Structure 1
Amino acid sequence: MQLCSVNFSEFFLKSKFFVLLAVLPFIFIFGGCGLWQDFTTYFNLYHNAKTLYYDAEELIIKDRKDIFFVSDAAIPAAASQNLPKVIEKFSKLLQFHQESSYVDDALFLIGKAFYYQKSYIKASRKFQELIATQPNSDLVLEATLWLGKSEMQMKKFDDGMKYLQEAKNRALEEKDEDVLAEVYIEEVRYLKFQEKYPEAVQKLKEIVALDLSDDLSSKALYETGEIYFKQLNNPAPAADAYKKTLEFSPPYDVEYNSNLNYNICLRELGKMDEALNNFEAMGREFKYQDKIDEIYLQTGLTLKKLGKFNEAYKQFYVLDTLAMNSSSSGIARFELGDMFENNLMDFDSAYVYYLKAEKSASTADYLKKIREKAGLFKRYEGLQTNLYVYSRQLAYIADPKEYKRDSLKYYADSADARLADLFNFPNDTPTDTSMTDSLKIAADSLKALQDSLAKISGEGGNPEMTNPEDEFAIGRPRPGDNTGKEGDGTGGNPPVAIEKKGWAPVRATVPEDSLKSLLAKTYFDLGNVFFGEIIIPDSAFNYYNKLLTEFPDSKYQGQALFSLGSYYLDKKDNAVADSLFEVVYENYKDESVANLAADKLGKPKIVQKVSPADKLFEDAEKIYVAKKYDEAVQKYYSVFLLYPETFTAPKSLLAAGFVLENDLQLLDSAFAVYDTLVSRYPQTRFSNSVLSKVKFYKSEKERIEKEIQDSLKAIRDSVVADSIAKHTPPPDSAGVKEPVKDSTAVMKTPGKDSSAVQQEQPGVPNEPSPGPNSKPEGAGESVKPTEGEKKGEAAGEGEKPPNEEEPENQNLEEPRKDHIFQEKTWAILSKEGTYSSLLRRGNPPQRSSS
């Protein structure tokens, strides 16, 4: 509807031109000065400015997709370039043609140009000026509308609503449907901004009841469906609104989105078969082929909800393979990860797809879920890696031959995978006699490696590995393994092809006791991941049980026992759960978990000894409450310095950074503390709370540093170029005599004193350019004056004070300000370099002609 109002304004403005054309013959007959002024003004300024404006507005309206969007979208670049020209030309019209009949037009279009530029204060002033100075103009009604819109954008809602109501009343009186529609649109935007969604729905229903146009009615109904579905979470009335939208012949985008969202609402209402049939029908329609990725996605989601996982997998796999850069692909990858996690219990595949989803485009409602799952499975995969590595390293310590066997097998498998293609000859290929020498050498080397492996394995008595930790290596292939199916030739990813990197055997770099502590912590962390995040209690039980049986003296015993008690409590086995809580309560009184067990048992809590780190943190808290912020920061940071291995350390870093950022406003210092927190304690909830802030700060710092370096480089290049251009003699000055115009006169500038600068001397050649062996003046050795310089000084003797150097250029109108600029610039860019040394003495750098 905004386009309609623009057409109305354009028609009104064009009408003046037609009037001028109609009366043009009479201008010359009757000599009307006012009409002649309008005519010249039109063609000199108004016509060009108006053309630029409507070209820009057409681009803005074409680019705007949602007329009910709360804030104004950014305008296209081409329109942004036109609007300043529009303002400039119309401003000239107002300045030099105040008696023209185009003053109201100029004020109105300048105001709209400012509005589109989001300069709402300036726009408001122009509309007010038009209303005050041109009260009889036909543009007053539209100016009132746009004044209200400007006030609303400045969040002056009371004034904005007053002007909008005034415009609505006048539009109803004058039956101006275009202005009326604009007022209703602005009112809906305001109610959405205030999150008064029921009132916004009522206002949209009023728009439909007015029946101003099919286009506006269809958009109002679609917006009604959007509010019901996405804001009020009520799919039933949303489905009705979407369905009614299709009855008004809406634009293509509104039609497609209404159709798609209608079927999504049916799925939410449990009518999944109907929704699936509709999605499949949409996929067969040619006009929706440019949206086929979204239709495939919704079809896959519907199949997944119906429990048809194989068919859903095919839909998602097509998107993962063929629609790689769309947001539908990112969502499909997340859904594939969810299916592998929850339906197939294949966490390695789930990890791969969650990681791919994190690196793909997505929608706002999926973005948070994708990040959470990707972070969880990165942690899970890291723990599984640690579990395998620590287990093997303990085996290497127990039996060094295990390291040799693993190493030889790893490299044998790698060599076998790399050389397999070399020896996979076709059936019609000749025998070994056709093999090249290099292939024979490679084959012999491979055979020797495999023989060595067999020999060493035989020394152990049993070539089969019986290490109890071998079960953790299952599903972790070496390079060359292919656990999935071959690709289907369509390109992209094969259905279950999971890229897994093998680990080359590495000996432990820490003592055995430390390695056992690391492995115990890995068991505990995996148990927590399965119990509290992936939610597979039986797997959590397995890891907790391994921790208790294999590492009975671990510091995680009390917490593992309490977690097992919670496991049995979830299983409704209260007797076992209470017995475990009792063990924790009686045997781990010095740990905080004892009081958690007390809560479960209904027993009194134990007064525990406060650790030194906790005591120091409490002291810092008291200092902070007293608003001694500098001292509090030092105390918080001392917790990290003195007790870096405690749980309190990352918490104290977060507290120190918070005080620096919010209370002391020392942002650089706060960033340094946050960066230490993220780097030293990356897998804690404290570091996760500031991770995005640290990343943003780093990126901004790098961007600013790059801009500074680019600016300095540009200044440096500019100064060097200017210096070369100013102080390099012209090409014809090297030994070429110019004709002497006057054999006696000395040229002086009128209006100057008697110490004018001499331009030419009789019989004196121009100053030659410095030769290849010449040195810049002041660069360690003075340069001897040329013969021409001696004569010039002699000829000008008495016309300037002694010891005053002659300016190198002959422009007496401007002093040598460039020396001041260069001196300041080079003082920044150089440290006591040749150029800065010369410029401090006021001498320009000399360049050789070579």
Structure 2
Amino acid sequence: MGYFNTYYNAKKAFDDAITELKKNPPKDLDTNYFAQYIANQSVKTKFNLVLEKASKILQFYPKSKWFDDALMMIGEIYYYQDEGELAIKKFEELIDNFPRSKHIWRAHSLYARTLYYNESYERALTYIDKIFPEATINNEDIAIELTLLKAQILYEQKQYEKSIKSLDEALIIDGDEYLLAVAAYLKGRINEVTQNYNEAKLAYSSVLNFDPDKNLEFKSKLSYARMLREVGEYQKALDYFLKMRKDEISQENLSYIDLEIARTHEKMGELETALTKYEMVDSLYKKTDASAKSFYYRGLMYEQVYDFNEAKFYYDKAKAEFPQSEITEIAQKKSEIFSKLLQYRSEILKYDSLYLNVTDTSKVKIDSNSVADTLRGLETTTDANATSIADTLLSEKIDSLEEDLLLEPIADETTDQSNLKQEITKVQTININPDSLLFLKTKNQMELATIFFLDLNLLDSAEYWFLQALSSKYRDNFAPKAYYSLIEIYKLMGYDQKADSFYNILVNEYPKSEYSQYVQKIRGENNNYIESDSEQLYEKALQSIENNKTSEAIKILRKIVLADTSSRYNIKSIYTMGWLYENILKNNDSAKFYYRILIDKYPQSLYTQEIVGKVAVAEDTSKLSQVIKLKEIVPPPPPSPKYVQTEQRDTKRTSIQQQQRDIRNRDIREEDYEEPDIEEPEIDEEEPPE
């Protein structure tokens, strides 16, 4: 009887731990039935007690009738604690040795789930296909779960048609009504993400044909009404939302209804009503997910009418309103984009106006220092402190400017002329070479053009500013990048002749630039293009990253750094190692080690500008976890619909892979600066902290 007491105590502790675990469901459980639970310390303590007692049963009572129960408990504990390999081992042991156990089908299900959590997607899909036919005969609920898991994996891989096909297989099984409701809801989400709104509407409405819990029922109704709006049935959507308001629902759910009512008025073109409704959400539901989204949607409204100051104002509100909201990260990125946009626009106006003043010989005495000397200093200056260059050099009071001297804005630009005049009148004296101002103006024009192109997909504005930069006397510093960008812009606009014209200019006037060689390589016209050893190694390292072989990648990258200090891949390799330690291995000390090398040895590089702030706060390593923004000049995707609440989950497991791919092309955004001669980083004499 001793082993019975051991089993009884283990089972009771296990049930208590599971009950406590389920009290804190994963954040994305509503959008992913298979979202992983995270055990807190209290749950882990109970799990450890269970492991101790269940292990005694396995060790001392191998013939006990509770042996498979103990084995299953141990496997589940490893499963919940995200110890995948140990969980798989226990589930395999039960499946192989106890094929008639009452736990056999749950073991099959958790085995497949564990493969999913381990990101062994192909193994999981193969296993599901293998056991599904038998599951439909022996355990229909597990058969539904398996098809749901298959659909989830295919959905995350963006194989949407296959995912829906799997869900249709689940929906014809006569099994648990709640699981079927989950399948119908997921089908709605996939159709929504792929913009098949009519199909999504039908799928969301079909959820109510099964047995959803209250939460799933509400989300299905809300999503159904949203789809009415997306297909243009605005009044039906409004009526449905108002009908939902009369149900007995929580304050949180009420906030989501009011938010969707505001969005519907916006869709109808009733912007004043929409703004009023959004303000109501802010007032009634402060510091909630709904109020954060209310601020975010207003930011989108102003962005679409090119009022970038107002857009930034609301994105700033959105990012701070409710940190747990799924739009917080997006709003943060939007805020950063418009902060830079407004900064570059202001810089252009400032340098243009200063240039006009310093070239007025009645007021200005031009310094005779050479342009080359000036530019050597300027090229090592980051955007953050570039604004202070003029203030440092000027030494004579400047009178306020006339209106006709101000930079003429394009249609979607606004300027704060009063701030400009205040800036100018602060200047006490003049002693500056005007060419430095022209260089800075051109540099900011390029930065502004790049934001319009890559971040905002405003091709007309991007074209305007790239052409402005090309009209500068310092065009040669930026021309290859500008021409390359304009080629892509004109291709997106459908102006193939213009694209070809700029292509010919790029390859004829700047044949040795990386941009020229790159486009020729893509077109198959550069037969003399030979990859360097460093380039080949770097490609191999990136392949290792994509195959989740991080340690192997770091070894290759170190080899590049130690072998060829003159190659641009030297800088990229140091940067990539820092990125890997920060974002993949979560080792901030090692990340700081490589980032510090960049700052010390390569102060000019734009890679350094990306991470200098991280190292500055590295003493507080919690601040070092923000993912580095990586960009490439490539054709941006077609304009996507406004933020869809349900589309976030499909990016969760692909975000790291996407960032890994982005590293491959990070240098495309580098300016065409000449790198200085630098001593080899002493990486071979010092290892990063582990």
* 1:121–1:150 contact (8 Å) kept in structure 2: no
Q: 1:148/1:305 Cα in 2 relative to 1: closer, same or farther (>3 Å)?
A: same
Q: Distance in 2 between matches of 1:188 and 1:572?
A: 42
Post-superposition Cα deviations, 1:411-449, rounded to whole Å, max 9, x if no partner, equal xxxxxxxxxxxxxxxxxxxxxxxxxxxxxxxxxxxxxxx
Q: 1:160/1:146 Cα in 2 relative to 1: closer, same or farther (>3 Å)?
A: farther
Q: Secondary structure at the match of 2:426?
A: coil
1:796 aligned residue? none
1:680 aligned residue? 604
Q: 1:163/1:264 Cα in 2 relative to 1: closer, same or farther (>3 Å)?
A: same
In angstroms, what is the RMSD of aligned CA positions? Answer: 6.0
Q: How is 1:233-382 mapped onto 2 (pairs within 5 angstroms)?
A: 233-319=195-281, 323=285, 325-343=287-305, 345-358=306-319, 370=331, 373-382=334-343
2:416 aligned residue? 475
Q: Distance in 2 between matches of 1:309 and 1:222?
A: 31
Q: Distance in 2 between matches of 1:400 and 1:267?
A: 63
Q: Distance in 2 between matches of 1:363 and 1:268?
A: 27
Q: Which one-letter code corresponds to 1:383 in the other structure? A: Y
> Which of 489, 514, 520 pairs up with 2:436?
514
2:149 aligned residue? 189
Q: How is 1:98-137 mapped onto 2 (pairs within 5 angstroms)?
A: 102-103=66-67, 105-119=69-83
Q: Distance in 2 between matches of 1:72 and 1:317?
A: 36
Q: Secondary structure at the match of 2:102?
A: helix
Post-superposition Cα deviations, 1:260-293, rounded to whole Å, max 9, x if no partner, equal 1112222232323322332343345441531233
Q: How is 1:200-215 mapped onto 2 (pairs within 5 angstroms)?
A: 201=164, 204-205=167-168, 207-215=170-178
> Which of 228, 235, 252 pairs up with 2:191?
228
Aligned length, in residue pairs:
543
Q: Which one-letter code corresponds to 1:309 in the other structure? A: L
Q: Distance in 2 between matches of 1:381 and 1:115?
A: 49
Q: Distance in 2 between matches of 1:348 and 1:79?
A: 48
> Which of 654, 669, 676 pairs up with 2:572?
654
Q: 1:133 Cα shift? A: 7.6
Give the gaps of 5 or more residues in structure 1: 1-37, 172-178, 404-456, 480-500, 600-604, 607-613, 640-648, 707-850
2:621 aligned residue? 702
* 1:45–1:89 contact (8 Å) kept in structure 2: yes
Q: Which one-letter code corresponds to 2:416 in the other structure? A: G
Q: 1:69 Cα shift? A: 3.2
* 2:575–2:598 contact (8 Å) kept in structure 1: yes
Q: Distance in 2 between matches of 1:561 and 1:92?
A: 70
Q: Which one-letter code corresponds to 2:204 in the other structure? A: Y
2:654 aligned residue? none
2:550 aligned residue? none
Q: Distance in 1 between matches of 2:539 and 2:173?
A: 61
Q: Distance in 1 between matches of 2:495 and 2:344?
A: 30
Q: 1:383 Cα shift? A: 1.6
Q: Distance in 1 between matches of 2:191 and 2:485?
A: 45
Q: Distance in 2 between matches of 1:326 and 1:208?
A: 35
Q: 1:229 Cα shift? A: 3.0
TM-score (norm 2): 0.59
Q: Secondary structure at the match of 1:315?
A: helix
2:633 aligned residue? none
Q: 1:255 Cα shift? A: 0.6
Pairing 1:58–2:22 present: no
Q: Distance in 2 between matches of 1:125 and 1:564?
A: 53
1:87 aligned residue? 51
Q: 1:667/1:126 Cα in 2 relative to 1: closer, same or farther (>3 Å)?
A: closer
Q: 1:56 Cα shift? A: 2.1
Q: 1:185/1:546 Cα in 2 relative to 1: closer, same or farther (>3 Å)?
A: closer
Q: Secondary structure at the match of 2:38?
A: coil
Q: Distance in 2 between matches of 1:268 and 1:313?
A: 19
Question: Which protein is bigger by CA-based radius of gyration?
Answer: 1
Q: 1:188/1:568 Cα in 2 relative to 1: closer, same or farther (>3 Å)?
A: closer
Q: 1:531/1:53 Cα in 2 relative to 1: closer, same or farther (>3 Å)?
A: closer
Q: How is 1:451-490 mapped onto 2 (pairs within 5 angstroms)?
A: 468-469=405-406, 475=416
2:676 aligned residue? none
Q: Which one-letter code corresponds to 2:434 in the other structure? A: E
> Which of 217, 220, 235 pairs up with 2:180?
217
Q: 1:295/1:705 Cα in 2 relative to 1: closer, same or farther (>3 Å)?
A: closer
Q: Distance in 2 between matches of 1:695 and 1:194?
A: 36
Q: 1:558/1:672 Cα in 2 relative to 1: closer, same or farther (>3 Å)?
A: closer
TM-score (norm 1): 0.50
* 2:452–2:459 contact (8 Å) kept in structure 1: yes
Q: Distance in 2 between matches of 1:677 and 1:271?
A: 60
Q: 1:256 Cα shift? A: 1.0
Q: Distance in 2 between matches of 1:705 and 1:541?
A: 36
* 2:75–2:86 contact (8 Å) kept in structure 1: yes
Q: Which one-letter code corresponds to 1:219 in the other structure? A: V
Q: Distance in 2 between matches of 1:571 and 1:61?
A: 52
Post-superposition Cα deviations, 1:792-846, rounded to whole Å, max 9, x if no partner, equal xxxxxxxxxxxxxxxxxxxxxxxxxxxxxxxxxxxxxxxxxxxxxxxxxxxxxxx
Post-superposition Cα deviations, 1:176-210, rounded to whole Å, max 9, x if no partner, equal xxx43134313421343255655654554555545
Q: 1:238/1:338 Cα in 2 relative to 1: closer, same or farther (>3 Å)?
A: closer
Q: 1:228/1:589 Cα in 2 relative to 1: closer, same or farther (>3 Å)?
A: closer
1:384 aligned residue? 345
* 1:523–1:547 contact (8 Å) kept in structure 2: yes
Q: Secondary structure at the match of 1:680?
A: coil
Q: Which one-letter code corresponds to 1:87 in the other structure? A: L
Q: Distance in 2 between matches of 1:159 and 1:524?
A: 52
